[in-house]
Amino acid sequence: MAPIEYNRNPEEKKGTRDGFGKALVEIGEKDPDAWALTADVSESSRTHWFSEKFPSRFVQVGIAEQNMAGVAAGIASCGKRPFISAFGEFSPGRNWEQIRVSICYNNVPVVIHASHTGITVGPDGASHQILEDLALMRALPNMNVVVPCDFEQSKKATWLLYEQNMPGYMRTSREKVPIITTPETPMELGGSNLYKEGRDLAILSHGPVLHQSLLAAEGLEKEGISAAVVDMYSIKPIDEERIKALAKETGLILTAEEHQVSGGLGSAVAEVLSSFRNDAVLRRHGIYNRFCESGSAKELLGKYELDSKGIAEVAKEEVKKNKG
């Protein structure tokens, strides 16, 4: 399959949370049964645009994320289509049990939007840098999980989860990131997008780190290392066929994510690789079993080697180690 074109010199930056907020309004205009709930963070989680246009379908529960999940499940059981939106540290971080029992066990169509995820939250520090949410959410039955890389893909992700008519989770960021996709860029549940072909290794990433991975691949090319880059935006279900093909084609896979290396994208890829006979090597790169510091998003991506320079260095290390 040929690589998909992307914006190599993006000038515009927007937060992925903004894409969610704009798509939520679009859904509200189309579907009178669409509702939105938040936990005292309507502007930060971008539900305020919905509340201004559809106040009768907006619920401000206050600082009560557990109650928010339960209320949303009740609304959904009445035939409505609720979205809940808050900081990832508190939803799903604080209300996971209510999501599990009230939403997933009953298989009601609630979409959970988590903003302010990963280390790109920056100055808020470790208490707000949710780095374990993908592990929490992809383990749940009846739950789809997606991680959009930019504003345009976030809009698509919101619609995509809404269209499934079942529980869904999407992870967005506060930091403004370059818009590298277009309204025409494909996105489907269980899919992935190949942006660059390569023979020496494949870099699998998503979210804000995807752009850094593309920049890393461009730099590696100048040093004679050919790196494929794939956007693994769908974490659950995951594109198993893509992973299997890359394992056979390159023999070396590097995952890069602003999440603990346990339980996230790297672990999901490892599960696929363990399901068939192959000789591929996997390096899971992300946050290595620790809490992180406070700083700007740029500073933290650099410190934890999740910027283009850091990803390139890890890639070179693995190519040298495994391919001589």
Question: Which tens digit of pLDDT belongs to each residue from 212-256?
Answer: 999 999 999 999 999 999 999 999 999 999 999 999 999 999 999
Tokens 């995951």 -> residue = 238
Whole-angstrom CA distances from 131 to 84, 248, 321 are 19, 30, 28
Which runs of E-coded beta strand occur in the chain? 13-15, 34-38, 58-60, 81-87, 111-115, 144-146, 168-171, 176-178, 193-196, 201-205, 227-231, 234-236, 252-260, 281-287
Q: How far is 254 from 243, CA to CA, in rounded Å?
A: 11
181-218 burial, b at 16+ Cβ within 10 Å, e below that, comes to beeebebebebbbbbbbbebbbbbbbbbbbbbbbbbbe
pLDDT score recorded for residue 99: 98
To 5 degrees, how large is the angle CA 47–CA 50–CA 55? Answer: 115
Q: 29 is written with which tokens?
A: 């205009």
Asked if the model's pLDDT at residue 111 lies above 90, the reply is yes
Whole-angstrom CA distances from 212 to 38, 177, 231 are 31, 10, 12
3-state SS class at 302: helix
Q: 98 is written with which tokens?
A: 């209510």
What domains does the chain contain, in order, with CATH numbers? 13-178 (3.40.50.970), 193-323 (3.40.50.920)
Task: Band the pLDDT of 2: cuts 50, 70, 90.
Answer: confident
Q: How far is 154 from 271, CA to CA, in rounded Å?
A: 26
To 5 degrees, how large is the angle CA 63–CA 50–CA 79? Answer: 85
Name the DSSP letter for residue 103: I
pLDDT digits (tens, 9 = 90+) for 18-71: 999 999 999 999 999 999 999 999 999 999 999 999 999 999 999 999 999 999
Task: Band the pLDDT of 122: cuts 50, 70, 90.
Answer: confident
22-34 burial, b at 16+ Cβ within 10 Å, e below that, comes to bbbbebbeeeeeb
pLDDT digits (tens, 9 = 90+) for 73-92: 999 999 999 999 999 999 99
pTM value is 0.97
Contacts of 236 (CB under 8 A, 6+ apart): 137, 138, 143, 144, 145, 268
Which residues are paired to 252 by β-bridges? Answer: 281
